[in-house]
Structure 1
Amino acid sequence: MHVLASTPLSPEYWLGLFGAFAAIGVLAIIFAETGLLFGCILPGDSLLFTAGILTAVSELNGVEFQQISLPVLLIGGPIAAIVGAQLGHWLGAKYGRKLFDRPDSKIFRKEWVEKAEYYFNRFGPEKAVVIARFVPIVRTFLNPLAGMLGMDAKRFFVWNAIGAVIWCDSLFLLGHYLGASVPNIDRYILPGVAVILVLSVIPIVREVMKGRSETKGLGQ
């Protein structure tokens, strides 16, 4: 019997909830987070990392979980991420700004759309699609934004696929190998995710600082 974590923001909550269907549940969350606006509230990096750990072990914090197949995650994860993002792109292309024409709530903030648009304009469409995979909230809203701003669906698909494979499989494999080699790996889930986020943000911060320096240089 699983003892579920107290908050839906915890990856253990969802993995325990899905039980024997944990792999399917992980793929469903990946799809929702990348394709549906409400998916922004679902766990992303932490879920992928923890699911990767559960391909190597079957116990976290003294609680037994259903062990997950690594090949299923490595193949199914990117597919779910690609399909979800393509759906988001299609919705953005079909409905445009109307898709974001709603009041702020717990699952939607206009500032999140503005943040995604900043990434899109600052890094360019192709680079932004890949980078967004590693940025919570942005990875949900950038896909429909790309469709709304007219990024070609075929060009989006190419960079969507590249970003999906890098994001999903790097986190799955990292979780798997750490789960197989580090005793009591459950103690390091949150610190591990924090390190991943910091490492993914460093290139973005560098690009932003570079852009600000260039802007200042032109203004002098």
Structure 2
Amino acid sequence: MLSFDWKQLLNPEFYIFPGSLWLIMFIIFAETGLFIGFFLPGDSLLFVAGIFSEKLIASSAFDFGNSHLNLIELIVLIFIAGVIGNFFGYWFGLKSGHMLFKKEDTWYFKKKHLKQAHNFFEKRGGSALIFARFLPIVRTFAPIVAGIVDMDKKKFMLYNVIGSAAWVALMVASGHYLDTFIKEKYGIQLTDHLELIVLILVLITTAPVIIKMITHGRQKAVGGEQE
């Protein structure tokens, strides 16, 4: 009997198995378009997908028989999922997102996450959609906020496409080529150290959010003391 631990959902390697490319695409769609997907491991998942690019394409899509073409195919498919995910988030924000600011906190929804994305969006403008792709939690709520503020659709799609292309290409290609380089140069298999790699990626990608929260907290504390 197979045992299942919900913690596995936070482990990118969990999604790497035959046919899992479509699951990865859904995960990216959910993390960039559904507010309940903020906890999913987007950055590390893409990086690990790059490492396993050959297996993913061979088991789930058309295998060109060329590692570079297979990598491009993988990037394009995940890129499409990211674009559609963001557009769905934008549509949701446009239609009913304003109601989220009145919604009570639940285990899967925290109003502070939406406010954090809203503040980030106001500070960065449309380019926030590009920067947000590289920030956990923020990338989930940024397109929803774009819909709430009724951002122009053409402008939104431009930033949506650029952001998705930059994020997916950078993370997937980094995983693929770094794995190839280290394997050829040092004879080390990155697949043997996935837990450490994922931990490092999580620390790197969440650091800006944590620093921002700490800084904001100190500013509020100072402001409160002055009052």
Same topology, TM > 0.5: yes
- Give TM class, smaller chain: 0.7 to 0.9
- Are 1:92 and 1:145, in contact at CA under 8 Å, matched by a contact in 2? yes
Q: Tell me which residue corresponds to 2:24.
A: 26
What does residue range 21-100 of structure 1 map to in structure 2 within 5 Å? Answer: 21-55=19-53, 69-100=70-101
Tell me the alpha carbon deviations over residues 94-139 of structure 1, each in whole angstroms, 9 at most, x when there is no partner: 1131144322122210100110011011111x21111110111110
In 1, the alpha carbon distance for the partners of 2:164 and 2:204 equals 16
- Are 2:100 and 2:111, in contact at CA under 8 Å, matched by a contact in 1? no
Pair 1:107 & 2:118 matched: no
Q: How many residues align?
A: 195
In 2, the alpha carbon distance for the partners of 1:70 and 1:29 equals 19
Tell me the alpha carbon deviations over residues 167-203 of structure 1, each in whole angstroms, 9 at most, x when there is no partner: 01100000001121221213242255147527x949x
| Unaligned residue ranges in structure 2 (runs of 5+) | 62-69, 183-187, 220-227
RMSD (Å) for aligned C-alpha atoms: 3.0
- Identical counterparts, % of pairs: 35
AA aligned to 1:104 is D
Higher helix share: 2
AA aligned to 2:74 is L
- Are 1:40 and 1:140, in contact at CA under 8 Å, matched by a contact in 2? yes
In 1, the alpha carbon distance for the partners of 2:51 and 2:32 equals 22
Runs of 4+ in structure 1 over 3 Å off: 2-6, 66-69
Structure 1, 105-114 or 165-174: larger mean CA deviation? 105-114
In 1, the alpha carbon distance for the partners of 2:60 and 2:77 equals 16
Pair 1:190 & 2:190 matched: no
- Are 1:35 and 1:87, in contact at CA under 8 Å, matched by a contact in 2? yes
What does residue range 82-161 of structure 1 map to in structure 2 within 5 Å? Answer: 82-124=83-125, 126-161=126-161
AA aligned to 1:190 is V
Scaled by the length of structure 1, the TM-score of the pair is 0.77
| Cα 1:3/1:13, change in 2 over 3 Å | farther
Q: Tell me which residue corresponds to 1:61.
A: none
In 2, the alpha carbon distance for the partners of 1:42 and 1:191 equals 14
User: Which secondary structure state, in structure 1, belongs to the residue aligned with residue 8 of structure 2?
Assistant: coil
- Are 1:4 and 1:13, in contact at CA under 8 Å, matched by a contact in 2? no
| Cα 1:191/1:9, change in 2 over 3 Å | closer
| Unaligned residue ranges in structure 1 (runs of 5+) | 59-65, 213-220
Tell me the alpha carbon deviations over residues 130-171 of structure 1, each in whole angstroms, 9 at most, x when there is no partner: 111011111011101111111111100001110000001100
In 2, the alpha carbon distance for the partners of 1:173 and 1:147 equals 30
Scaled by the length of structure 2, the TM-score of the pair is 0.75
In 2, the alpha carbon distance for the partners of 1:67 and 1:150 equals 37
